[in-house]
A = this chain, B = another copy of it.
Amino acid sequence: MERILNFSREEYVERVKKTKESMSHKGIDALIVTDPANINYLTGFDGWSFYVHQGLVVMLGEEEPVWFGRGQDANAARLTSWLSDDHIRAYTDDYVQSLVKHPMEFVADIIKEKGYDNKIIATEMDAYYYTAKCQESLQKSLPNAKFADGNLIVNWVKIIKSDAEVEFMRRAAKIAEKAMTTAVDSIAEGVRQCDAAANVYHAQISGTKEYGGDYCSIIPLMPAGVRTSTPHLSWTDEPYKNGDTVILELCGNYKRYHCPLSRTLTVGDAPQKVKDLASVVIEGLTITLESIKPGMTCEEAERVWAKSIAKSGFIKDSRIGYSTGLNYPPDWGEHTASFRPGDKTMLRPNMTFHMIPGIWLDDCGVDMSESFRITENGCETFTSIPRKLFEK
């Protein structure tokens, strides 16, 4: 089959090599990778098949990971990954959502065949799609193995992007700008929220003339009115009303790479409270971004924000940003570095983040955000949409 890889084979091999170095450092012989973004990162494998159990077995003694998944998805591995045919292992359909057998029994057989069943095996303990049952099944099937927590091993490898990855995020950024402009243009009094959301989706997927968009790992979050008091509600089929505040947490995606972007809009003139909140957020965001440079830690950056907002009287008790890039639903965050007290991750060039210091009160909220890359001497934002409260 004709394979189309998003990155060079060398880049994938290098990613696996770094993963194995980290495993080796931690005394791990084999790592089961089930986070879809990590599977893609190491092999290129793509497809909406993460609703059944699938993953990789990364072994210290092998250059190529072994992909495991459902029979009908093996051709997706052949088409999208760099793995050779004998490293693509598909289980029969009677393993799918079965009450009597579990796909991890199939994985245990691969581990036995490779001679790793009495070694130290790590699993991504808190990764999406790695269920409690997966762990139970694997431990039961490999009584001679020693288990370790391999959570986030690949995530920490991927925190620094290659230039090729940064280019994908730049393309995603162009799509994010289009999505945001479309949202601002579409929202008006009397327009149904679902119709504005439909336009945003269209912009995200159609992309630009030069390249199309991929789906984002989070839906367009565009709550209006009282629903802005919480960040994860979205549109309804009600029309926008004069006086509505609308939060727009949108994104662009190019080949699974994200560029999230948030702004806030009011239908009609903004109430003073929303204006005040927006000013505080914009000022804090701007000052924090201006302060960021390599060598700083995440908590130091957060302290700049905290100091800026302290004088306003508003309270922000959640993290203000996180590492982002390659991902699959349900999240575009990478679960590694966060801008919050206690996070001592040192910022380094080509780390990429989404800084989103949203504030949600009990009757309204304001989001303003930027995705950015750490450069040699500061940071650069991926998009250039005016950092302001839009009034329609």
Contact = CB atoms under 8 A, between A and B. Distances in A.
B205 A198 contact: yes
A74 B230 contact: yes
A124 to B, nearest CB: 8
Q: Which of A192, A201, A331 has most chain B Cβ within 10 Å?
A: A201
Contact of A226 (B1, B197, B215): B1
Contact of A317 (B51, B71, B215): B71
A46 B227 CA distance: 11
Nearest to A225: B2
B232 A49 contact: yes
Contacts of A46: 233
B206 A194 contact: yes
A93 B221 contact: no
A381 interface: no
A229 interface: yes
Interface residues of A, number: 84
A120 to B, nearest CB: 16
Interface stretch (A16-24, A107-115, A130-138, A273-281): A130-138
Interface string A218-261: 11010000110111111111000000000000000000000000
Contacts of A318: 70-72, 93, 96
Interface in A62-115: 70-76, 79-80, 92-94, 96-97, 102
Interface in A43-73: 46-51, 70-73
A174 interface: no
B125 A128 contact: no
**Copies of this chain, count:** 2
B234 A48 contact: yes
Contacts of A125: 131-133, 136
Nearest to A1: B226
A212 interface: yes
A218 B51 contact: yes
A219 B128 contact: no
A294 B237 CA distance: 36
Given A194-B207, A330-B48, A131 B126 contact: yes
Contacts of A235: 205, 212
Contacts of A50: 330
A35 to B, nearest CB: 11
A47 B335 CA distance: 20
Interface string A175-202: 0000000000000000011110111011
A390 to B, nearest CB: 21
B201 A232 contact: no
A201 B317 CA distance: 35
Which 9 pairs of residues, A with B, have the shortest CB-CB distance? A194-B212, A212-B237, A132-B135, A126-B133, A75-B230, A93-B318, A198-B206, A51-B331, A198-B205
Interface of A: 1-2, 46-51, 70-76, 79-80, 92-94, 96-97, 102, 123, 125-136, 149, 151, 192-195, 197-199, 201-207, 211-213, 215, 218-219, 221, 226-227, 229-237, 317-319, 322, 329-331, 333, 335, 338, 340, 342, 360, 362
Given A1-B229, A126-B134, A130-B131, 5 more contacts: A51-B331, A94-B340, A133-B149, A133-B151, A135-B136
17 contacts: A1-B362, A47-B232, A72-B230, A75-B362, A79-B226, A93-B340, A97-B322, A97-B338, A102-B126, A130-B131, A131-B131, A195-B206, A195-B212, A198-B205, A198-B213, A201-B201, A212-B236
